[in-house]
Structure 1
Amino acid sequence: MVKRNLNIKIAIIVLISIILFLALLGPYFFSNSESINRIRLATTTSTDNSGLLEFLHKEVTKDLNIKIDVIAVGTGAALQQARSGLADIVIVHARSLENQFISEGYGFHRIDLMFNDFVIVGPSNDPANIWGLNNNTEIFKRIYESNNSIKFISRGDASGTHIKELELWRLAGLFIDENDIDWALDNQWYLETGSGMGETLTVASELNAYTLTDRGTWSFMKEGLSLNLLANGSELWHNPYGAILVNPDKFNSVNIKLNLAKNYVKWLISTKGQNLINSYFISGKQVFFADFLNHLDKMPENEIDFWEI
């Protein structure tokens, strides 16, 4: 039931995204001269809301002479965009959904690109008393047990962050049946935005509530929010991002720009690209960490050959 409702949410989000995408980027399909050096990147809101992509793409444009059209949605919606032929590459952060996307044949040649972590932010008076904790079970139990005096804001959009949040509740032995109407009526402390990370942080700030966020978006937006970083969690809160090329063989009438997308990823995993990821600081703190070299020794030979490493 939960999986079916997640799929319905993804379908609604994707439909809205496609309408907006066609309205904004229609010229891409109708002007060959303008689209020759353009690729479409479907990615998470966290890479966009954090300012990282804007930082990287200034250099990408100069070095590769390509334009990247960014479609920033949740991971589930980003992968659906690619399934619909509306992206040449995806950068996402939910490995279970990534593996499904690849097993269906829509994506291939996945690369471990970078990582950061998730944090919980909330009101400065911290009624759930989670400040400084790093045990996942204790953190979520305290939030759950304080539900008569707090609110928790979930993205509720089948994004990588949303999927991670539900996983962390389960690992703490707690069940969030967000798609059951009776449960939702009995648990009005748990609210969903159905939106990206930036919008969800804004709602949490307005309601003086708790939420789970990636560190990058939090760092980029925190000055305008009335929230505090309260818990960093454990290694369970690790947040890896993968880059996946879209397989052109899945589409007959759509021009998937494999070579341009490949060159883009090669730039991201190059020494320059990885160093730039490491050099992106917000308020004096590094918020993303290059990850490609950490996985290079486990890369199969055929992948090494494909990426010409």
Structure 2
Amino acid sequence: MPVILGIESSCDDTSAAVYSDGVMLSNIIANQAIHEAYGGVVPELASRVHQQNIVPAVQQALINAKIRKNDIDAVAFTRGPGLLGSLLVGVSFAKAFALAKNLPLIEVNHMQAHILAHFIDEPKPTFPFLCLTVSGGHTQIVLVKDYFDMEIVGQTQDDAAGEAMDKTSKILGLPYPGGPLIDKHARLGNPDAYPFPEPQIPGYNFSFSGLKTSILYFIQNNVAKNPNFIAENLNDICASVEKRIVTILLNKLTKAAHAYGIKDVALAGGVSANTGLRLGLQQLGAKHGWNTFIPAIQYCTDNAGMIAVAGYYKYLQGDFTDQHVAPLARMPF
């Protein structure tokens, strides 16, 4: 079986992984704390820290996998979508490593890799299945017919679900990254305390810009009446915002599942680490008789494990790229 080295650097996490023979031998993720001071990812800083982290991450991945560089059969890397400067670091390293060791290169679409993370561990979904892919920059419902035969049947028309959570955390004065903190406070609050509106978007598409605006005005109006409103009601606010975002996502997913007659339904992307969303899908699965699939937390956020798995299936198909490949900030699905 081929040994695949995976490289991921699409945003602010530098990651390297080794996958072989159906087993994830290692999955190293180096986070970037530098962005906390700015309340979000600063692209130029991210690319600089990737340069510092990429070699140690790969070295540690090899050590944890208990293999040598000469044992690797191919290098898979994220070509896009993502921050161009960040992608450039990972792509350049992958090309140099492959060139030095005379190895084939495998380009991977970051969003497809999130979906293929479901093929790392058991149980695995059966084709065709629906995958709700939710991250800071993307919100999609994807009909997955095969490993690389995927069709987007619904997606956001403006902002992503992850952006709505990040914006809410900023409005509430929570430090970056805000998503996990929204999740933490939501577990302690009343999700029915504040009924935020659900956008009426036709079909399976989403919109979160109006919800972001309604949350902003809600907070501003209440703080004007009571300067301590956020501090006194933080848990309930987070729980109510999370509930609305989750219901928007799952209502569309339910609609699509019924329309396509799909029984295998999956979550993917960074926001799939959210406790409310994971629990919501499991409850829907029990209600509708679905087989539900949710990756382990380490494979939800940006990681090279999913890149290595996607590279593995491309390797089996002989789908390689060459040294002329360049990163793509926007990469067709």
When normalised by structure 2's length, the TM-score is: 0.27
When normalised by structure 1's length, the TM-score is: 0.29
